[in-house]
């Protein structure tokens, strides 16, 4: 019997059915792990929209520069995973500019609580400072440009 893994390589002792079962099992585990983050993100987004008045959010959220800065700061504070970031960004898209959403999605992946503590332990201090500066300046410039375009 031909034994093929998900990658197409032969695997000794495992049938197609066994490999398929392992793939499905892994997919279910990933679904439930990510699902928790999405639920928490939905709660955060709904709490922001419920308890923070639009009169407070609107002047900042519609400003071409402040919207990008505010969303970048929010992304860093929330420290969400990429799946959750996208969910929150989509729910806040009506309250902010396209550049703000871009800043939220890009900066949220690089400058979060985990990376602030992890990267200096792994990389030289100068490399971390350069990476953080680039992770702030480039999305800020592109986001502001996008808002003025």
Q: What is the pLDDT of residue 52?
A: 81
Query: Which three-class secondary structure state does DSSP give residue 124?
Result: coil
Which stretches of 62-97 are DSSP H helices?
66-78, 82-92
Q: What is the pLDDT of residue 72?
A: 93
C-beta of residue 21 within 8 angstroms of C-beta of residue 32: no
What CA–CA distance (Å, rounded) separates 141 from 13? 55
Its pTM surpasses 0.75: no
Going residue by residue through the chain (149 aa), what tens digit of pLDDT does each one get?
Answer: 444 445 555 666 788 888 899 999 998 888 887 777 778 777 877 887 788 887 887 888 889 999 999 999 988 888 777 777 887 888 788 888 999 999 999 998 888 777 888 888 899 999 999 999 999 999 999 999 999 98
Q: Nearest to residue 115, comparing CAs of 72, 90, 74, 80?
A: 80
C-beta of residue 104 within 8 angstroms of C-beta of residue 92: yes
Q: What is the pLDDT of residue 67?
A: 93
């Amino acid at each position: 019997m031909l034994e093929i893994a998900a990658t197409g390589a032969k695997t000794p002792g495992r049938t197609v059915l066994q490999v398929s079962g392992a793939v499905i099992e892994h997919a279910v585990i990933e679904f439930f792990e990510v699902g928790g983050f999405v639920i928490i993100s939905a709660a955060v987004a709904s709490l922001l929209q419920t308890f923070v008045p639009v009169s407070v959010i609107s002047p900042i959220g519609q400003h071409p520069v402040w919207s990008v800065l505010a969303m970048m700061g929010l992304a860093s504070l929330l420290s969400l995973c990429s799946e959750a970031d996208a969910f929150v960004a989509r729910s806040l898209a009506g309250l902010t500019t396209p550049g703000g959403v871009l800043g939220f999605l890009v900066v949220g992946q690089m400058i979060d609580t985990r990376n602030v503590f992890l990267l200096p332990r792994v990389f030289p201090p100068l490399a971390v400072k350069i990476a953080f500066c680039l992770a702030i300046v480039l999305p800020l410039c592109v986001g502001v440009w996008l808002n003025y375009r």
